[in-house]
Amino acid sequence: MSQEYKINVNSEIGKLKAVILHKPGQEIENMTPENANRALYSDILNAEVANREYAQFKGVLDKVTTTFEVQDLLRDVLKDDKLKTGLLNDIFARENVFGEEEYIRSLSANELTRQLFEGVVMQKNTLSKFLNSDRYSLKPLYNFFFMRDASMSFGSKVIIGKMANTVRDRESMIMDYIFKNHDYFKAQTYNPNLIENNANMTIEGGDVLIARDDILLIGMGARSTSSAIDFLIAELNKQKVSKKHIIVQELPKSPESFIHLDMVFTLLDKDKCMVYSPLMLNAGNYKTIHIQLDSGEITSIKEENNIIDSLAKLGMPLTPIMCGGSADKWNQDREQWHSGANFFAFAPGKIIGYGRNSNTIEALNNAGFSVLKATDVVAEKINIDDYKKCIVTIDGSELARGGGGARCMTMPIVREDVNW
């Protein structure tokens, strides 16, 4: 019997025991200026450079935890013919594959996995296909290396993302099949995709942060809607859970760098967080709403000043560290654009992010975080265990151009509980 990894994520900072990643593959080389906008990119990426940066990122995580590549997990699932048929039926029901169902069904688990990620090239064997300007009958998953969005661990279950853009729907379907069926997991899920009349219901993992086992932070903006948050609250209420707090942060729908809560706010340690202060501390017209649940009911719903004030009232005081530093809004805006607030904690006070955001890194260093280079960690020139608090910096010239950072690229499945 294979090892089982029971989902357990009750914070953003607990020591990481297992995480799912996705190495950017040929799919990003299959992007052109013409289709970049449809793929949710403002530019096209260089796969060779992106993969060098990703190797630093994964190399560090391999030193501190168990890592899984999502392609390997999907390949395992597709070896079961019944599961393969089920997943393909779901994909065909959602996506037009221009009559190539038979060809796609004929592919081996290995080849099908590759083509589900990289795209199925359209066979130009009919007049309509010959005249079709699309290269692919099943489009590449350009965004899948941002693993966080299509699924998110929450306690002992997994929330399946209801994606805001249909180009990403297949990511959610793949993650749903993996979590429900892979021998490693056999996890229970919350899946808003299965709800009828769900057209206005979207939620992505970049908007969902677990502050503490009883506190959930959710961004509401371009990618996650109030109806999806209501769905999640209803699911929690069905379980008659004891007191929980949902803090909803309204976000601007533009610019595109504000697409998720974790692009303006991430948790770093028991008492520290990273913030893009012009929005998070001076929200203006953007509301912070505190919803309290208890024994199957909403017992309170009220507006707060901001997330940090709301958390302090719940016995979780945080010192904010400013993305881009505190001196110059110009630097704050530039570094937030390149995911300067998007850090991933692999243990309390031990985080990883892009080294290019120099003012942010300096602010972290001033707050007591030792600055370590990923290349030195991977080469074992330094040992992370020798440091109480640290920021491990990876190169981010190319990955950042995809519109996300270290938290975006990770899907934690097991963390140690934090001793608060």
Q: Say yes or no: 279 and 133 in one domain.
A: no
Domain containing residue 153 = 16-80+140-415
Please give the tally of structural domains in the chain.
2
φ, ψ (nearest 5 deg) of residue 200: -95, 10
Q: Say yes or no: 133 and 249 in one domain.
A: no
Query: What is the Cα Rg of the chain in Å?
Result: 21
Q: Is the dihedral of CA 310, 314, 319, 320 positive or negative?
A: negative
Cα-Cα-Cα-Cα torsion 365, 370, 371, 374, nearest 10 degrees, comes to -150
Are the CB atoms for 111 and 373 separated by under 8 Å? no
In a domain, 330, yes or no: yes
In a domain, 387, yes or no: yes
Q: Say yes or no: 271 and 323 in one domain.
A: yes
The pLDDT assigned to 43 comes to: 62
Q: Say yes or no: 389 and 407 in one domain.
A: yes
How many Cβ atoms from other residues are within 10 Å of residue 196's Cβ? Answer: 4
How many Cβ atoms from other residues are within 10 Å of residue 416's Cβ? Answer: 15
Alpha helices in 38-168 (DSSP H): 47-64, 70-78, 81-94, 101-105, 109-118, 127-131
Q: Say yes or no: 216 and 356 in one domain.
A: yes
In a domain, 41, yes or no: yes
Residue whose tokens read 């001793």: 419
Q: Look at residues 63, 57, 147 and name the one whose alpha carbon lies nearest to residue 394.
A: 57
In a domain, 8, yes or no: no
In a domain, 7, yes or no: no
Long-range contacts of 128-131 (CB under 8 A, 24+ apart): 128/98, 129/98
In a domain, 46, yes or no: yes
Are the CB atoms for 90 and 83 separated by under 8 Å? no
Cα–Cα distances in angstroms (integers) from residue 31 to residues 55, 138, 301, in the given order: 21, 13, 44
pLDDT in tens, the chain (420 residues): 468 899 999 999 999 999 999 998 888 777 665 554 444 445 678 888 889 999 999 999 999 999 999 999 999 999 999 999 999 999 999 999 999 999 999 999 999 999 999 999 999 999 998 999 888 999 999 889 999 999 999 999 999 999 999 889 999 999 999 999 999 998 999 999 998 888 889 999 999 999 999 999 999 999 999 999 999 999 999 988 789 999 999 999 887 788 999 999 999 999 999 999 999 998 678 999 999 999 999 999 999 999 999 999 999 999 999 999 987 899 999 999 999 999 999 999 999 999 999 999 999 999 999 999 999 999 999 999 999 999 999 998 888 888 899 999 999 999 999 999
Judge if pTM exceeds 0.85.
yes
Q: Say yes or no: 248 and 130 in one domain.
A: no
The pLDDT assigned to 2 comes to: 65
Are the CB atoms for 248 and 229 separated by under 8 Å? yes
The pLDDT assigned to 224 comes to: 96
Q: How many helices (H) and strands (E) does the chain have?
A: 15, 20
Angle at CA 73, nearest 5°, toward 222 and 35?
A: 40
Q: Say yes or no: 341 and 408 in one domain.
A: yes
Q: Look at residues 2, 183, 176 and name the one whose alpha carbon lies nearest to residue 80.
A: 183
Q: Say yes or no: 226 and 123 in one domain.
A: no
The pLDDT assigned to 33 comes to: 56
First-to-final CA distance of the chain? 35
Q: Say yes or no: 320 and 394 in one domain.
A: yes
Task: Kindly report the three-state secondary structure assignment for every residue of 253-300.
Answer: CCCHHHCCHHHCEEEEECCEEEECHHHHCCCCCCCEEEEEEECCEEEE
In a domain, 124, yes or no: yes
Cis preceding-peptide flag for 255 (omega within 30 of 0): yes
The pLDDT assigned to 3 comes to: 82
The CATH number of residue 383's host domain is 3.75.10.10
> What residues form DSSP beta bridges with 19?
67, 412
Q: Say yes or no: 117 and 235 in one domain.
A: no
Q: Say yes or no: 179 and 133 in one domain.
A: no
- Cα separation, 201 vs 330, in Å, equals 35
The pLDDT assigned to 302 comes to: 97
In a domain, 394, yes or no: yes
Q: Say yes or no: 180 and 206 in one domain.
A: yes
